[in-house]
Amino acid sequence: MREQLLADPPQPHVENALWLEPPSNVDRYDDCMARVADGTARWAKDRGRGCYRKTIRHGIASRLVENFRTLCLHRRASVATLSYASAKPFPHMYFDGLFPVDVLDALDGEFPEPSAEISHHLFCKNATERGWRCIKDKGRGYLKITNSNESAMAEHLNGVITAMKSRSFVTFLEQLTGIGPLIVDQTNEGSGQHQILPGGSLQIHADFNRVLSGLYRRVNVFLYLNHDWQPSWAGDLELWDHSMTKCAARIAPLRNRLVVFSSTDFSYHGHADPLRCPSDRSRRSIALYYYTESPAALVDEDRHSTLYQVRKCESCQMPHVGSGST
């Protein structure tokens, strides 16, 4: 079935409706069904007729899925499969430049902005009123906020997340990782928007392994949104070995960098050193997790929460390394 881009809605907050009358307009019907199958469109019945309703969110998602095709994402995944599987200390890879700059510019305005003029406590209070969740760092105050509620996200964030849950993107992940069939988490448990404030950190850990539905967590994806991020600010994603004696790879959280890695009980990662960025900056990302119905081989099938680890040495001072593709 064909998949063609329909024109984006002409202005924000306007919903376009394209009436479809199968089988009299088979091409449009097939096009709509292809989009519904890909996860970038919605199909609804209205007054006995089929109606394809395309919102701002779905227009952005359709454009991004088409952009993935233009970038030959599936072919790049096939080429990178062996590099991904052999990466140390566990399978991972990053890709730069997969999202259009204008979409990233719009995302900048859809995260709360910290400021030197307001306290972290007030910042978190304001974010909570917008649907975010504040996480308190023991003894140091509120240094991380998250938002997993798509209804509380603006349209560009919704569009990006919809594209990252599309069939095209999931197929890319399956081809890259060799894991599948992958299932997206529609509830965004632990995922969505993540934002770390100055002084904040994320202890090295392996993630929870199952959701309440019984699905097994298998693949993590982070899209970083930090323009002009400086090495002196810390915040690199660190990947640690099984024994927690060595940080084997560091990946800078640069804007438009997509990181993919396999999630197991020993995929230890985080950024344990406090951020040293200016007071008006923060470490921003979109995180999504992908699941399967069965666990990986040779892993504990019992459900567990996050497995935090203690570093047996300081963060490595090695150059930025990691398996990457640009």
Would you state the CATH architecture of domain 72-325? Sandwich (2.60)
CA distance 175 to 129: 40
Higher-pLDDT residue of 271, 20: 271
Rg from Cα positions in the chain: 20
CA separation for the pair 128, 180 (Å, rounded): 36
Q: Taking 90 as the threshold, does the pLDDT of residue 87 lie above it? A: yes
Q: How far apart are CA 301 and CA 102, in angstroms?
A: 43
Q: Tell me the average pLDDT across 311-325.
A: 62
Tell me: pLDDT of 259 over 60. Answer: yes
Is the confidence at residue 32, as pLDDT, over 70? no
Average pLDDT over residues 71-92: 95
pLDDT at 325: 63
Confidence of residue 311 (pLDDT cuts 50, 70, 90): confident
Q: Which of 22-31, 85-94, 118-127 has the highest mean pLDDT?
A: 85-94
Model-level pTM?
0.81
pLDDT value at 198 more than 80: yes
Residue 250 confidence (pLDDT) above 50: yes
What is the mean pLDDT of the segment spanning 91-104?
Answer: 97
Question: Which residue spans of the chain are classified as CATH 2.60.120.620?
Answer: 72-325
Residue-wise pLDDT for 146-178, tens only, equals 999 988 888 899 999 999 999 999 999 999 999
Residue 4 near residue 31 (C-beta atoms within 8 A): yes
Query: CB-based contacts of 169: which residues, under 8 Å, 6+ apart?
Result: 65, 68, 73, 163
Q: What is the pLDDT of residue 49?
A: 43
Query: What tokens appear for 99 in the block?
Result: 């999202």
Enumerate residues 6+ apart whose C-beta is below 8 A from 122. none
The pLDDT-based confidence of 73 (bands split at 50, 70, 90) is very high
- What integer is the mean pLDDT of 283-300? 88
Mean pLDDT, the chain, as a whole number? 81
Helices (H), 130-208: 155-164, 167-177
Quick one: what percent of the chain has pLDDT higher than 90?
Answer: 54
Which residue would you say has higher pLDDT here, 43 or 79?
A: 79
- Asked if 197 contacts 119 with a C-beta cutoff of 8 angstroms, the reply is no
pLDDT for position 48: 42
What is the pLDDT averaged over residues 131-140? 74
> Which of the residue ranges 5-14, 58-67, 95-104, 224-233 would you say has the lowest mean pLDDT?
5-14
pLDDT at 236: 97
* Structure confidence at residue 53 (pLDDT): 45
> Bigger pLDDT: 297 or 97?
97
Whole-angstrom Cα distance, residue 130 to residue 91? 36
Q: pLDDT at position 51, please?
A: 43
Per-residue pLDDT, 141: 56
Q: What is the pLDDT of residue 11?
A: 29
pLDDT category, 313, cuts 50, 70, 90? confident
pLDDT(284) > 90: yes
Q: What average pLDDT does range 128-138 have in this prediction?
A: 78
Residue 10 has pLDDT above 70, yes or no: no
